[in-house]
Amino acid sequence: MKLRNWGFTLIEMLGVFTILAIIMIISLPAITKNLKKNEVNKYEAFIKSAELAAETYIESHRESYPSLNNVGGSATVTLELLKRENLIDDIPKRPDGSTISTATTIRAYVNNDKIITYTYQE
């Protein structure tokens, strides 16, 4: 009766593991870079959504901000207020891992052409 060996040899297994290790070593910097870039993109998207939330809040409570009727007028809205009004969800961390204060403000400013711009201010 003839025996069949269906398994892999130790040399074949070591070769496969070596190839996998080389692939991981080569791809690890790219994966790390993409993870960091993702954190930056998430933070920038939060800033834009906070500015839009501030615009929504100010426009729906325009009577509370009479200074925005004049050129050069300004008003501020805090992240805490926007969160309380359910205009923003969770406040993410900065890309460096530090937390964002709920006292951070978004400033609305009336330009010379009477267009209101919203600026995130830390």
Convert the pLDDT of each residue in 5-31 to its tens digit.
777 889 999 999 999 999 999 999 999
Percent of the chain with pLDDT over 70: 96
Would you say how long the chain is, in residues? 122
Confidence band (pLDDT; 50, 70, 90) for 74?
A: very high
- Record the pTM: 0.76
Answer whether 118's CB lies under 8 Å from 110's CB. Answer: no
Q: What mean pLDDT is reported for the chain?
A: 92
Q: Give the pLDDT of residue 23.
A: 96
Q: Which helix (H) or strand (E) holds 120?
A: strand 116-121
Residues 31-54: pLDDT tens digits? 999 999 999 999 999 999 999 999
DSSP 35-86: HHHHHHHHHHHHHHHHHHHHHHHHHHTGGG-GGGGSTT-EEEEEHHHHHHTT
